[in-house]
Structure 1
Amino acid sequence: MRAVAKAVALAALAMVVVAGCKKQDEKKAEQAAPTQAQGPAKKESVVVVPDSVKGKWKAVKIAVTDKTANKESVYTVAIGSEFAIPDSNLSLKVETFLPQFTMDGTTLTSQSNEPKNPAAQIRVMEGGKEVFKGWLFSLYPTTHAFNHPKYGFTLVDFIPAS
């Protein structure tokens, strides 16, 4: 009987010790977990259009592929304007065009006005809600491509200002 009482007492003591350790671990975890104010802030990319590029391009041509109908249509969209894609609830806006896209840290810019790595920054809206903001690269059409169940977008050409 004494052995049973001793075992029960030891088990109870072990539970108290374990519970105490868990509370200390939880406290340490709370103290170690960074709050939003303490955590590193994600730096937003900045697009810089050099003077040598500003005003030199007026539009881009974007191929819109309807994956279900296996049909591709090419639309010319002026830089800075929005275009409603026919027979859909999608629209896209061409924000910026960089003829020689390059990235330096968080700065996105163009090394020159020569179309050596053409890229267009677009926003895609579906039913009035933004569903994509990113870049289309004519040389690398699958890089950071927008994945939509029905439509695909590709930068196919760019039109200089006259």
Structure 2
Amino acid sequence: MSSGRSRFPGPDRFEYLQTLVTEFQDTDSPDAREQILANLANFSYDPKNIEDLQRLQVTELFLDMLTEESENLVEFGIGGLCNLSADRGCRDQILQSGRRPGDGLPVQPARGDGASARLRNLALVFLEDCCTRAQVERAEREGQSHSALGIPLPDD
């Protein structure tokens, strides 16, 4: 393979991503679901994949993961959303996500001793990328334990 060329160029890339999405939807194995979602989150980091991921409705897949019981699925979902939020169109889609303004994104409440440091850090990155400081401050003033998007803020 020559340098600068993707392992999955053009249509092959789309087919590969489509295979990942299909496998994620079809598998019952929790470990396989986590691995596939982690791969999709990694692919969402590359701007070359944005259009294909949008066509495959991966943004909605990541959004759906925010209400999962598995902390890993939530983490990979947030990671994928953070990666996609670099694209203005994806960011707008994430923020709107079919909900009324101000309702926020659904995230399962933290269990046990609270959300992991990784989840808090990912949520913070998402907030910094997608929300104005005024939006975050407004949510804090309203006494909510979550951000304007419904994602827990890290403890200061």
TM-score normalised by length of structure 2: 0.21
- Structure ranking higher on relative contact order (CA contacts 8 Å, 6+ apart): 1
Structure number having the greater strand percentage: 1
TM-score normalised by length of structure 1: 0.20
